[in-house]
Structure 1
Amino acid sequence: MPPFEVPEGDPFGPHNLPYGVFSHAGSQERTVGVRLGDHVLDAGAAAHALGSPYASLLARPTLNPLLAAGRTAWSDVRRALTAWVTVPAHQETVAPFLHPLSSVTLHLPFEVADYVDFYASENHARNVGHIFRPDAADSLTPNWKHLPIGYHGRSGTVVVSGTDVVRPSGQRKAPADPAPVFGPSVRLDIEAEVGFVVGVPSTIGSPVALDGFREHVFGLCLLNDWSARDIQAWEYVPLGPFLGKSFATSVSAWITPLDALEEARVAPPERTHPLLPYLDDSGEEPGGYDLRISVAINGHVVSEPPFSTMYWTAAQQLAHMTVNGASLRTGDLYGSGTVSGPEPAQRGSLLELTWNGRDPLELPDGKRAFLEDGDVVTLSAWAPGPAGVRVGLGEVTGRVVAG
């Protein structure tokens, strides 16, 4: 089938057009690509051939120049790309720049500036509370319904889908142990998340309001924030996650622009506590996204978390992240936190799925409480699109290897 003739209903049709960065086999030269079905369009080469004023933004080894260009440029480029792959008059010019995905290498699509991870799913937070504080009167911490809890992570170990994840080592101490020991994590876990990619920076000292979300955030992607639960449990009091989180965070090779997800926007769950003005979105456009995530281990689906259940929206997270005057940089990445739904089969981590190892998963290749060396974890997702078609998100895959 010719590359322009994407099968009807393909989740990566012209209605989607996510952005990535690729190189040809045997070449070190990277350039911006746009996915169409099972092909990738060399966006810079096509733009140059068609005389686009945005050729200089697209013929780059990273998405960062396009991210920094702002919403007007994002919209103009998207309209142009849609025309290039749908208007017959352009096909002869554009066809040489469409390459089979199987023939190229995909890379981390943008240079990550800062990385922040949130804790925005009430279902996840309550599950964790029940596991670690079973006797507490409320499974949520007192601040949870008043602000999006987060922590500043490590950007240098954000890796693209397909990168092996080395089992981390560190200190761990079980409650009954007399002293900590050092060694590889024995409770390696996943966190099924959605990552948001910042394009336009902000000025230090100037918070970004809720209605500034779409002016600063370019798009989103799937994200797996790998977690060493045993290392995390021993180190995190009183300052929070450190070595148990910083060893690897996997992201998709494809960034889906927000403009491709208009039909997927939904209202967040009903708020049960009054919000301070900077977080009050009652008068704003719907800030949630209806993303249907699937988590597979060694090809076997173990969970299907719904992103529409997230209590705190990406706009609220951005507002909270900057309300103290912290500035945004092009390439900033922030994760939603683990996505978990209300049902047991919708939990986004093994910590929850196995109830901290008490109830191991029954997989075709054996039981799993936590991840074993050689396990391959894959996150995939789709969202409702125009006229009933699905918008596919690029998958995130990682294989655990021994440290």
Structure 2
Amino acid sequence: MAKYPIEDLLRAHAPQVLGALVRRYGHFDAAEDAVQEALLAAARQWAGSGVPDNPRGWLIRVASRRLTDQLRSEEARRRREEAAAALTPREEYQAPPPGESRSPSEDDTLTLLFLCCHPALSRPSRIALTLRAVGGLTTAEIARAFLVPESTMGRRISRAKKTVKEAGARFGPPDPADVPARLSAVLQVLYLIFNEGYTATSGPALRRADLSAEAIRLTRAVHRLLPEDGEVAGLLALMLLTDARRAARTGPGGELVPLTEQDRGRWDREAVAEGVALISRSLTTTALGPYQLQAAIAAVHDEAPTADATDWPEILGLYDLLARITPGPVVELNRVVALAMVHGPGAGLDRLAALEAVGSLAETHRVAAVRGHLLERAGDLPAARAAYQEAASATLSIPERRYLLLRAAALAPGPGPQPER
């Protein structure tokens, strides 16, 4: 069997296997390690012998053996370290009889997502633990995705599991009063994973398709569990509508192609249709939220047959609403672009200057890039060139840097390429 179908199967089963072990034995940190060992063993064995008839059962059996061996070893070590005279033998951990089964009262995927997004964890730790415990990725795969050494990522994951344990977190749904905040944290982590995959913040590649695909897979799982939640549907729609443009975002040499210049014939129309259907239903049946508004904006872009046909007044109206619901520097910067498309580059530049004067925008390369774009549209080519160069020097993404430098070079004084006649 091919490599990737096996990997997909393993990742789909990972949260259910981990959930089964944690319910049976407790010890989330040790159980997660045992599941990882079982997944690695399956990847090696199934490639040669084929996938067993009951892959989940196979994984649970192997992971249970690894976990009980580890727990017994730790118990034996503790016994050796204690004074024999004062020792009261402790009951060893035993698996239930083969015929015994316990049906979970909640889906393990959502429960694990809540656990991995515990409030005691930092944002990077939530992302790493989610990808490993729920996504089934190895430490090495996560480290490669975020361009850090495997040892660094391993320590981050270990610290995250220790923090969860010290916080007294249990495997089970949170208190009902905590669900909205915990679900919000889960969606934020999935969105961050998707964004890092769709536009890598650093490194030689513009995107990391494995991360964005994993974020979509996990968000689909959450949507299946909470089909009536508007923000879950909105986030899934936003991912689908954005990822639908993936094939057109780069040229033959891997260079970045901006949205206005993309070949829309290369967009994934099935993904667009699914995303539009999701957001259309969500907007009419649930309370409005920021992910739904962002998905609605993406839908306006994706449904336009050409860049010139984009309904920018509608997009500006949606950004106005988004800025009222969840104001922030990213929203404000995107609204500046929409404002310029509706009322001209001068209006955009004025708004950008006003935001910078009061410190409303974060110091990122995107601010300079937007300024360069607006200055170019306004005809101030020397200032636009300087802004593009400033943006290029600030970004850690090699494809983005190349694109910005090319934009700057195109505005250099002197004879340039002659237009075709």
Query: Does TM, normalized by the shorter one, top 0.5?
Result: no
Give the TM-score normalised by the residue count of structure 1: 0.24
Instruction: Report 1 or 2 for greater relative contact order, CA contacts < 8 Å, sequence distance ≥ 6.
Output: 1
**Larger-Rg structure:** 2
Structure number with the higher strand fraction is 1
Give the TM-score normalised by the residue count of structure 2: 0.23
